[in-house]
Amino acid sequence: MPGQAAHPSVVRAGMKPLQHPTRLVALVFASAIGIGTLLLLMPAASARGESASLVTALFTAISAVCVTGLVVVDTGSYWSGWGQVVILLLFQFGGFGMMTAATLLGLMVNRSLRLRTRLVAQVETHSLGMGDVATIARLVLIVTLAAEALTAVWLAARLHLGHAMPPAEAAWSGLFHAVSAFNNAGFSLHEDSLVRYGGDGWVLWPVMLTIVVGGIGFPVLHDLRAWLRERRRLSLHSKLTLSGSAALLLLGFAGLLLFEWGNPRTLGGLEPLHKLLAAAFASVSARTAGFNTLDIGTLSHESWALHYLLMFVGGGSGSTAGGVKVGTAVILVLLVLAEIRGRADSEAFGRRVSPQAQRQAVTVLVLGSAAVVLGTMVLLRFTELPTDQIIFEVISAFATVGLSTGITASLPESGQLTLGLLMFVGRVGTITLATSLALGSRRLTYRYPEEHPVVG
C-alpha cells in the first residue's frame, strides 16, 4: 500500500546476510578488534620494544573496543606511548561507534514500521524519527568532543597544579582519562586506577560527571535538548532512564556507606567527607565505568553483591555504558508491580508500557542472565578461585564494566579468552539482540487457543 514502509520480512528478504544491521555491527566491531590486535602486536606498542603475546594483545583490544577496562597487564607501564594511543583510539571508536550504531539502528527499526504506527509513536513518546539522523550524528559528535575536551583540560590543569605532574605528562594523562571516562572504558595509566586521587574531589567530580553524561544515552540527551529548547514533553524512555539511574546511584551510594563505613581496608580509615566522596564515586563507576578509588578486592561480600546488581543493570540505552540497561530493569520492575497489584497494564508517568517492550525486556534479562551463568560455569571449570570472585569477574566482563577483584591477570589463557568472549557478547550482543527483536517482529494471521499454565 502506498505510504507504508516495507514489512520487516520484506526488508530482511531484500538484504544480503552481511547487510543486515545486526550482523553488520558485530562484523565492524570484530574487525576493529582484529586491527587493534595487530597494532598491539607490533614491537613499537610495547614499552620494552618486544612483541606482546597474542592473548595479551587480543584481550587488550577486545577490552578497549568493548569499552570494558579489564586488563591482564598494566596499561601505563607495559604499553609504550604508541601502544597507549592505539588503546585510546580503540575505546574511542568502541564508545563513539557503538553510540552511533545504537542510535542509527533504532532509527532503522522505526523505518520498518508502518507510517501510521510511526507517526503515532513519535507523537506519544517524542521518539527519534528518520529525519533526525543528521541531528543525532551531529549531537553525538558535539557532545563527545565537548565533554572529552573540557574534562581533559580540567584534569590536565589539576594534575599539573595540584599533583606536580610535568605539563606534557599531565596533558596526556588528562586526555587519556577524560576519553576513557566519557566512553565508560575504565582504562587508566595508573596501576592503581584512580586510588591515588581518592581524596581529591577536583579530579573525581569531573570524572563522575563525564561518566554520567556518557552513560545516560543519546536518545535521552536528544530528548533533554528538545525539552530545554522547545519545552516538549520528555518521552517515557527518558523519564524511566533518568529516574532509574538516580535510584541506582542512590542505592549504590547508601549501600556502600552502610557496608564499608567501618571497614578499615576501604572507608574505615578515611575522614567523613572522604568517605562520602569515595562512596559516591564507587556508585557511579560501578555502572560500567570501571574506575576505582577503593581496592575492589578488599570490599566486603555485601558490597560485592551490591556491585553484581549495579554492574549487571549498567547504564542507559544508546550510550557508552554496558549491562542490560536501566530501561530494561525499570520496565521489569513496573511489570512486577503491575502483576502484584492485579493490573493488566504496566504504567508509569501517565503512560502504558507496550507489551512488546515488556517481552523484549524479559528476553534481554533472561539471555543476559544465561550468559553470566554459563560464563561462571566455564570459568569455574578452568580455575579453583572462589566462586564469588568468579561471578564478579564474569558480570564485570559481560556488562563491560572493567572492575576486578584482582584475578584477571592470574586467570589461565582459556579463562581470559572466556572473559574476552563475554565482553564482546555483552557489548555487541545487547544492541544487536534488541534490534533483531524489533526488526523480527511481525503480525501473524492466526492465533492458537489460549490456556493458562500454572505459575509458581
- Report the pLDDT value the prediction gives residue 359, as an integer from 0 to 100: 87
The answer, yes or no, to whether residue 115 has pLDDT greater than 90, is no
Longest dimension (CA), the chain: 74
C-alpha cell of 130? Answer: 528518520
pTM, two decimal places: 0.87
Residues 325-378 have pLDDT tens digits of 999 999 999 999 999 998 888 988 989 998 888 988 998 899 899 999 999 999
pLDDT in the model for residue 130: 47
Q: How many CB atoms lie within 10 A of CB 441?
A: 14
Burial of 228 (0-12, 13-18, 19+ CB in 10 A): exposed
Q: Per-residue pLDDT tens for 220-255?
A: 888 888 888 887 888 898 999 999 999 999 999 999
- For residue 347, the 8-state DSSP code is E
Q: Cell for 274?
A: 572522604
Q: Domain-by-domain residue ranges, the chain?
A: 8-439
Of 30-34, 340-344, 428-432, the poorest mean pLDDT is in 428-432
Q: Look over the chain and give the mean of its residue pLDDT values, rounded to a whole number.
A: 85
CB contact at 8 A, 426 and 398: yes
Q: Predicted confidence band at 197 (pLDDT cuts at 50, 70, 90)?
A: very high
**Lowest model confidence (mean pLDDT) among 291-300, 356-365, 398-407:** 356-365
**Rounded Cα distance, 427 and 120, in Å:** 31
- pLDDT: which is higher, 108 or 443: 443
Determine the 3-state secondary structure of 279 from DSSP.
helix
- CA–chain centroid gap for 96, Å, is 12
